[in-house]
Structure 1
Amino acid sequence: MSELGICSRREADEWIERGWVRVDGKVVSELGSKVLPHQKVSVERQAAAEQSKRVTILINKPVGYVSGQAEDGYQPAIALVKPETRWTEDAVQTQFHPTQLRSLVPAGRLDIDSVGLLVLTQDGRVAKHLIGQDTSVEKEYLVRVQYSKPGRLPDTELKRLNHGLTLDGKALLPAKVSWQNEDQLRFILREGKKRQIRRMCDMVGLKVIGLKRVRIGKVRLGNLPEGQWRYLREDEQF
């Protein structure tokens, strides 16, 4: 079911336990049941109705918040999701309810020192699309840097940032890295290793002064104020 893009593995388990899943018209209630390629998997309407209620939230994460679980006294970004921090210009009619915080998980990381677009979702399909093994969704960052040597970063090192660096013993996928102005680079990546941009910059003698994620796929941060959140609109797709 997960491979077909119907739902996440966790959702599949829930639906099977509730008797909402059929194979060739017969209800399957046992987790881990094998399905052959020629067999047809279908789900009851209740599953689709429940899935449609699941929300995806966009936050402009400030410095000092962690993406996931609380750690070392720092608050998780989900702590920002409350009625008073919802963006007043949010065009979605959905009413906020505390049940929306249940199973609301970050679809990707943004480290504690970075700001910008962070996605929290209850929808397993969104999470898989953004952070699954086969994802190729672009993520765009604006990165303020300082060169540790006299003069300007050589073009050869800029080329290495685009393609040619290795992290944790594995070659990085090609990136798109270009200067925006004298001290700011634009990074567009299709992967997200831990503190990847900071480590890439360190390898070529650049110190990261500030890092902001401004886009994930086709969804942009836009004018969303720092520390505020909004719902993903129906017409928006990553």
Structure 2
Amino acid sequence: MRLNKHLADAQYCSRREADVWIERGWVLVNGRPARMGQRIQTEDRITILPAAHAQQSTQRTILLHKPVGYVSGQPEDGHEPALVLLTDANHWRHDPLANQPAPHSLKGFAPAGRLDIDSTGLLILTQDGRIAREIIGADSQIDKEYLVRVRYHAPDGAVIDSAVDQAFPAEQLARLRHGLELDGVPLKPAQVDWQNPEQLRFVLREGRKRQIRRMCEQVGLHVTALKRVRIGSLTLGQLPLGQWRYLDVHERP
């Protein structure tokens, strides 16, 4: 196995972080500095130097209530990235770490699970590859919860935007829960229930591009608003729109 994969699988860091550690000489294999791309055997003794742990302790994770109009990652099509909201002025005053200033540098922050430009809600921005892997890694078991306001375009051409739950066929709700596919690939089972007559609650364990909107389109629903309220054990809570807080050291997704 490659050393960087071993370190990531053991949840010491992400593969990208492992490569940085190896490049800086912070990882030893049998007492000798590791090499980039090195493969290891089961019996090899791996040592991580204190400098790696010290560097990792400085990495921050931020919970942001993303508004509509901001992209999760890099700027695109003239739209600003959500990172521009990480200012002292937008730091939630009820954050237990409110006395700590906004990050001096935004280098290394990346979204752990994107939100569409026209969606709102919980966006996690992290420098910590372990947290990113835990949330969006291929073997992640963390679910995400969304509140989705919809209108129904019935087969007879009627557009229903109130008491949608009464008009929407039960068999189509069952298809949302399990039975749809995107781009020829079946979707994992989802929890989908009515939160109120015009709003569905989705709980997913995957995050395909514009997944909920595309799922709804297949059953005659049009999404008018979408808000992510939870990622694993981390909830949006009372965090105001456009504001952010630090992830506390005792919190995990």
TM (norm. structure 1) is 0.96
Deviation at 1:209, TM superposition (A): 0.7
Q: Supply the RMSD in Å over aligned alpha carbons.
A: 1.1
User: For 1:94 and 1:16, how far apart are their aligned partners in 2?
Assistant: 31
Q: Deviations over 1:75-115 (max 9, x none)?
A: 0000101111111111025433313x111111111000000
Aligned counterpart in structure 2 of residue 218 of structure 1, from 227, 230, 233: 233
Secondary structure at the counterpart of residue 194 of structure 2: strand
CA displacement at 1:176 relative to structure 2:
0.1
Cα distance in 2 between the residues matched to 1:142 and 1:58 = 18
- In the TM superposition, residue 23 of structure 1 has moved relative to its aligned partner by 1.4
1:78 aligns with 2:93: no
Which of 174, 184, 187 is the equivalent residue of 1:169? 184
Q: 1:229 and 2:244 equivalent?
A: yes
Structure 2 matches for 1:151-170, cutoff 5 A?
152-170=167-185
Identity %: 54
3-state DSSP of counterpart to 1:125: helix
* C-alpha distance in 2 between matches for 1:237 and 1:200: 29
Q: How does 1:61-100 map to 2 (within 5 A)?
A: 61-92=66-97, 93-99=99-105
How many residues are paired up?
A: 236
* Aligned position for 1:188: 203
State the secondary structure of the residue aligned to 1:158.
Answer: helix
Structure 2 unmatched runs, 5+: 1-6, 159-165
One-letter identity of the residue aligned with 1:60? H
Question: CA separation in 2, counterparts of 1:102 and 1:61?
Answer: 19
In the TM superposition, structure 1's runs of 4+ consecutive aligned residues that sit over 6 Å from their partners are none
More divergent stretch after superposition (125-134 vs 219-228): 125-134
CA deviation digits over 1:60-88, x for unaligned, max 9?
00000000010111000001011111111
Instruction: Give CA-to-partner distance per residue, 1:142-198, whole Å, 9 cap, x none.
Output: 000001115611111001000000111000000000001100000000000000000
What residue is the counterpart of 1:148 in the other structure? 153
